[in-house]
Amino acid sequence: MEYFLTEEQKTIKSLARRIAEERILPVRAELDEKEEFPWAIIKDLADADMFRVFIPEEYEGLGGGCFELCLVVEELSRVCSAVAVSYAATALGCFTLTEYGTEAQKQKYLPDIASGRKLAAFALTEPTAGSDASAIRTTAEKVDGGYMLNGTKQFITNGGEAEIYTVIALTDKTKGARGASALLVEKDTPGFSFGKKEKKMGIRASATRELIFRDCLVPEENLIGKEGAGFILTMKLFDKSRPGIGAQAMGVAQGALEAAVDYTRQRIQFGQPLISLPVVQNILADMAIQVEAARALVYAAARTVDSGVKKFSEESAMAKVFASDIAMKVTTDAVQICGGAGYMRDYPLEKMMRDAKITQIYEGANEVLRNAIAIELRKRRARTE
């Protein structure tokens, strides 16, 4: 399919692929097995300017948008989703700052993120607040000189590894969601510590930890946007970041498709390669159709995000839901047609199947996003009546 990439976009995509194949592929099984954060690869990505892709040029970035980010995430995820999400979580952790931060905040933090010297993370989820994000309990009480943070964040990607955290906390407990604010918190702030590293089904090389705040004083100038704007900023952030999860999902599906084609070409059963069997051909064809459809939708959604239109919640949710559902289907089918080999840890497919699952869950569970899409359908029809 021709997606009309610019020369620069082609360069970004092909360099991301080269890093994935030369640096990630040789170690991905080991990283997964050891559940080890891929610092050496993060360094390679940083040296290759990959963290500059999504940072504006004024802050030592290359000024790319959601689309360029998706190209990198797709290529990394094609080889290893855990590396892809560790990279993408930094984009998630600094988008709010990039869009709503003050000049001083951006000058202070973005150049270090662009160079890859510092990773970022975004923290919303809590033990009591998952899909019901308004149920957060972490508080940021206004005190002399700043905000006193208290509470626990859960399942935070890049937790413990990142230096810069965007944390959503209640500056006004009485207002519920309207009392939430976004704060930048640096790793070494007194009162900020990390809980256990989670043991996950997939994306095992990525780090997922609790963030614990106990009387953690955050300077006043670290507030992003206005007090009480935390939830709106978060919703806008997810609208922008969801195509990236779509790219992660579509990338792992692409990887599974290629691995399945490779294996079924060389595996001989009934005197012929598996790929000669019509039943296998049908499954492979369906996998390819789904991957390409997901790519088209993810690219279109990402370009919509970058186009300057004001509303893109639905498009972005659609790309995330569709790509993650087909990723689960494609990786499961890939394991199935490769049989015993597909199930073995010596082959990459079982990892891809484990890695795919999370994309249906995080950054808005698919069921929640379908609800949001349906509500929009209903509202739009109601408006025309």
Partner 1 sequence: MNIVVCLKQVPGTTEVKIDPQTNTLIRQGIENIINPFDTYALEEGVRLKEQHGGRVTAISMGPPQAEEALKEAISRGADEAILLSDPAFAGADTWATAYTLSRAINKLGQYDIIICGRQTLDGDTGQVGPELAEMLEIPFIAYVSKIEEIADRSMRVQRMVEEGYEVIESPLPAVITVVKAINVPRLPSLRGIMKSKSAVIPAWAVKEIDADPGRVGLAGSATKVIKVFFPQRVHRSEIFQGDLKSQTECLIGKLRDAGLV
Write out the catalytic residue numbers: 363
CB of 41 to partner 1, least distance (A): 11
CB of 245 to partner 1, least distance (A): 23
Query: Which CB, 53 or 352, lies closer to partner 1?
Result: 53
Footprint of partner 1 (CB under 8 A): 8, 11-12, 15, 18-19, 22-23, 44, 47-50, 52-53, 62
Q: CA-CA distance, 298 to 74, in Å (whole number)?
A: 10
CB of 63 to partner 1, least distance (A): 11
Which residues have CB under 8 Å from 66's CB, separation 6+?
240, 241, 243, 244, 302, 305, 306
Query: Which CB, 87 or 362, lies closer to partner 1?
Result: 87
CB 297 within 8 A of CB 243: no
Query: Which CB, 15 or 275, lies closer to partner 1?
Result: 15
3-state secondary structure of 196: strand
In this structure, what token pair is assigned to residue 224? 């992003």
In this structure, what token pair is assigned to residue 1? 């399919």
Query: Which CB, 49 or 198, lies closer to partner 1?
Result: 49
CB of 88 to partner 1, least distance (A): 17
Q: CA-CA distance, 163 to 140, in Å (whole number)?
A: 20
CB 28 within 8 A of CB 79: yes
Q: What are the distances in angstroms from CA 122 to CA 86, 119, 149, 330?
A: 12, 11, 15, 29
